[in-house]
Amino acid sequence: MSRPARLARGALVAAAVTLGTAALSRLPYDAAPGDDALLRLSWRARGEQVRECRRLSAAELEAQPVHMRRTEVCEARSLPYHLRVRLDGRAVLDDTLYAGGARGDRPIYVFREVPLPAGAHRLQVEFVRRDGEQPPARNAGVGAAADAAAVPRHADATPARLALDTVLRLDADQIVLLTYDADRRALVARGAAAPPPAP
Amino acid sequence: MNGARRGVQGAARRALVWADAGMNRLYGWRHNPIYHSGALATALLLVLIVTGIYLLIFYRIGSPYASMARIDAQVWAGRWIRTLHRYAADAALLAAAVHALRMFAQNKSWGPRVLAWVSGLFLVFFFFVCGWTGYVLVWDTQALVLARAGARLLDVLPLFSEPLGRTFVGERPLPDAFFFINLFLHAALPIGVGLLLWMHVARVARPALLPPRALTRGVTGLLLAASVLWPVGLAPEAELFRLPAVAPYDFFYAFWLPAAAAVPVGAVWAAFAATVLGLLLVPRLTRPRAAVPAPSVVDERACTGCEQCYHDCPYEAISMVPRSDQRTTLVARVDPALCVSCGICAGSCAPMVVGPPGRSGRAQLEGVRARLAERRPGPRDVVLIGCTRAAAREVDEAAPSLRGAVIRHPVSCVGSLHTAVIEQYLRAGAAGVLVVSCPERDCWNREGAKWARQRMAGEREAELKERVDRRRVHLVYAAEAEGAALRAELDAFRRRLAVLGLASAADDVDLRALCDRAEAAG
């Protein structure tokens, strides 16, 4: 191969690799194929807290170091909530949500996504506290001398029951956020167009 | 398992040999970008730092997209600098991937090279995370897709009590802290890259951190031209209440995105864990099952303490330590944990007292004597001393007509060849000696080809002695798959030898004794 031909080929290959790199740097990606819209449920709920105390037995106290011997240990936890979502009369979510954190004393974080076709939809949401239920990981081991008591409510505690029954009209690719408005103490839909007029 | 590994490695090696030969034809071995892929990644990192500093000056965490739009509106600077930043990041990752593939194909990941392999994997991971944070900083549709994908992956881990995905739902304004953390990571990770790079080359002597200037200029110039002529532009701003129907994405940093979006998060993590585990196990899986070549040893009684092997070792496996006898000079000592048994110390030692067992200078001369006892070269014969990894093997295989006139003498690396071997063949009556080396940047033992050239040119200790007729010795670079070029060189060499006339034997000299005397005099 002559030198000019080699140089020309070299330049051509280099240009092709560079252009290939540049092209791969901007590939189109269809992140939401189809004409669907999305209903997103996202809020933070700090529900009723229950404090459980129990007295330690003599043997348990003996097992503790002297400076850590307390006759009573208490743990607080938030009560779970039940989330039920119906879309056009059909149940799309039915779930019990527990408080976060290893001790179950963190807030409940609701974060769910429901894809749905564009158009008008009737949405019914219920978020109800389950007063009698223990979190699954904490059912056992509370102790024979357990003594449960409700902790005084915080001012910003989530109500025992939240509900929303509305009609949403969504365009293609639109996201509607269903969230909890702490000022109104109610569930609200954001990003949605006004519901269509009643027939 | 072992068969699959060999199959994958063999396929990678064949592809690499083919690509190397093509690039050598186009750019010559000195500027073959595949040979310099690791150094190119470092050079591109410097381009990223320089362009990144410019972007940092104009970026505002309080209004990320608006500030990026302002940068993009700077037609004379900002637009192409931002594009160059992007292209350089892509090219750096590509270069790093080629470098890793090269090391894998050439089976250079086990033994003392484990540190380089593992630190290299971390380097690539840091590059990935750095690129990810960089894309999120722009806060366009691509950023939102990447941010949500990242949150989706992280939210299944028991790390955060509050799902990260809630950050991007529009429930509350996106906090500045989010962009601050991303910017901090984007700027701080390169410091980690620098530290890892230091670790990456810690076990090699004289690491080539930058490619030749011409190659650096060529690559940077091409990326710059592409940046000016084809700027990336800005995607639409991220909208939290709208699904990003079509978002641009960078294949190099987000190649996994389409596949990951289509499968459960657990499957993504499982694939990621399997990939990481597989890559971390490469050194173990590729370690030869047969006996690993023994490390070099030093005959301490005969070592003169000249330090040449210490200087020539590409892996800093040799140190000079005080002697245990009464002599005041230091003595060479090999650290078996660092030695890869390349044998370069054998070629560097004029008195022939160091080298892997069976491959020291003395052992090499004994081997030549055994060969000569079998067949003495005729006055028209050419001895072809070739690295087993270079194209030397192909001469015999592809040109049977040459067999009668060519005597092959394979070596594991031309850097391990003691120059006395060349002299011995010529004294035995060979017409000439053609030394076939891998290209210098392709040497499996890093510096063997370079040291061999310098020794043959008399520029480095353990040199080819002046008494040797240089017209009958020729060094040629020919990588694997460059057999045709080697045959052409061989033919040309034979024609030059023919002009010189017939060679005559003069093997009444004991080269080993001669070398010993020369060393004693020196």
Asked if residue B399 lies in contact with residue B327, where contact means CB atoms within 8 angstroms, the answer is no
Q: Which helix (H) or strand (E) holds A73?
A: strand A72-78
How far is B47 from B37, CA to CA, in rounded Å?
15
Residue B160 carries which DSSP code?
A: -
Ramachandran area for residue A128 (φ above 0: left; ψ -120 to 50: alpha; else beta): beta
Tokens 């540049």 correspond to: A22
The CA–CA distances, whole Å, from A39 to A42, A84, A164, A171 equal: 10, 14, 14, 12
Please count the residue pairs, one from chain A and one from chain B, whose beta carbons lie less than 8 angstroms apart.
Answer: 119
In this structure, what is the dihedral angle of CA atoms B174, B176, B182, B188, given to the nearest 10 degrees? -170
Q: At residue B264, what is the residue type?
A: P
How far is B403 from B13, CA to CA, in rounded Å?
27
Ramachandran area for residue B161 (φ above 0: left; ψ -120 to 50: alpha; else beta): alpha
3-state DSSP assignment of residue B229 = helix
The chain A residue lying nearest B155, using CA atoms, is A111
Asked if residue A81 lies in contact with residue A107, where contact means CB atoms within 8 angstroms, the answer is no
**The Cα angle at residue B447 between residues B445 and B451, in degrees rounded to 5:** 125
Where does the pLDDT of residue A154 fall: very low under 50, low under 70, confident under 90, or very high at 90 and above? low
pLDDT tens, per residue, chain B with 522 residues: 667 777 888 999 999 999 999 999 999 999 999 999 999 999 999 999 999 999 999 999 999 999 999 999 998 899 999 999 999 999 999 999 999 999 999 988 988 889 999 999 999 999 999 999 999 999 999 999 999 999 999 999 888 878 899 999 988 888 899 999 999 999 999 999 999 999 999 988 999 999 999 999 999 999 999 999 999 989 999 999 988 878 889 999 999 999 998 999 999 999 999 999 999 999 999 888 777 789 999 999 999 999 999 999 999 999 999 988 888 889 999 999 999 999 999 999 999 999 999 999 999 999 999 999 988 888 888 999 999 888 776 666 655 555 556 788 889 899 999 999 999 999 999 999 999 999 998 998 999 999 999 999 999 999 999 999 999 999 999 988 888 888 889 889 989 998 887 666 665 555 556 555 555 554
Residue A40 distance to chain B (closest CA, Å): 8
Count Cα neighbours of A59 within 13 Å in the Cβ-side half-sphere.
0
Residue B161 carries which DSSP code?
A: S
Q: Hey, is the C-beta of B214 within 8 angstroms of any chain A C-beta?
A: no
The chain B residue lying nearest A176, using CA atoms, is B241
Residue B193 carries which DSSP code?
A: H
Residues of B in contact with A179 (CB under 8 A): 169, 171
Q: Hey, is the C-beta of B262 within 8 angstroms of any chain A C-beta?
A: no
3-state DSSP assignment of residue B476 = strand
Residues of B in contact with A13 (CB under 8 A): 26
In this structure, what is the dihedral angle of CA atoms A28, A30, A31, A36, given to the nearest 10 degrees? 150
Cβ partners under 8 Å of residue B35, min gap 6: B20, B23, B29, B439, B441, B442
Q: Hey, is the C-beta of B162 within 8 angstroms of any chain A C-beta?
A: yes
Q: Hey, is the C-beta of B422 within 8 angstroms of any chain A C-beta?
A: no
How far is A98 from A77, CA to CA, in rounded Å?
10
- Calculate mean pLDDT across residues A102-111: 85
- Residue B195 phi, psi (nearest 5): -65, -40
Closest CA to B180 of B64, B45, B52: B64
Ramachandran area for residue B446 (φ above 0: left; ψ -120 to 50: alpha; else beta): left
Q: Hey, is the C-beta of B245 within 8 angstroms of any chain A C-beta?
A: yes
For residue A38, the model assigns a pLDDT of 92
Residues of A with CB under 8 A from a CB of B: 1, 6, 9-10, 13-15, 18-19, 21-22, 24-32, 36-38, 40, 42-44, 100-101, 106-107, 109, 111, 173-177, 179, 190-191
